[in-house]
Amino acid sequence: MKKNKILSDGVLAFILIAVILLIDQFIKIEVKTHFCLGESIHITDWFYISFVENNGMAYGMTFFNKLVLSLFRLVAITAIGWYLRQVLRQKHTTGYIVVLSMILAGAVGNILDSMFYGLIFEASTPFSVAGFVPFGTGYAPFLQGKVVDMFYFPMIVTTYPSWVPFKGGDEFIFFSPVFNFADACISVGIVALFLFYRNEIEHLSETVKGAFRKK
């Protein structure tokens, strides 16, 4: 019975990761090959498809240079994948597998941009749409491609009151980051992890400690 559960949850994790990656990459390639950089389509007043690229982490954040960040992502993906495999071998809930799979798939989705987009695409510009090029002749080396973002939800657009120091009269936008499907999967997965799987987070700490003790 335990073997069957491991097999079924392992298959579920594989299918979920594969589906998320397919959706994420399909959206990104469609945007990359049909939009000029900075081009935006108005869907509603609070939802735009807006093509931007970034060198940083989720939602365009940047803390390291591009190569260091890509290497950090590879280490993080390896660690998450290793932990997911450990969880599949032990007592667990299916929901926890789903959450971990979402986080892993989102991380892989963004690293694929960094790994390969610079090798297979022309550079996007505000005046031209990028196309495919022979492998290795694109706009950036391996691991230094830019991540494609497109979802923009400016749910509130207003101005700061004049009495606000330094910001008075400036535009205020809530929610201003532009993100992609992979970012959304990571965010939903992390929020669900802290809301519903706190005991499993403690288990994560014990698993990591146990792995180091075995060494």
What residues are labeled active site?
A: 149, 183
List C-alpha distances in Å: 196 to 90, 93, 203: 19, 11, 14
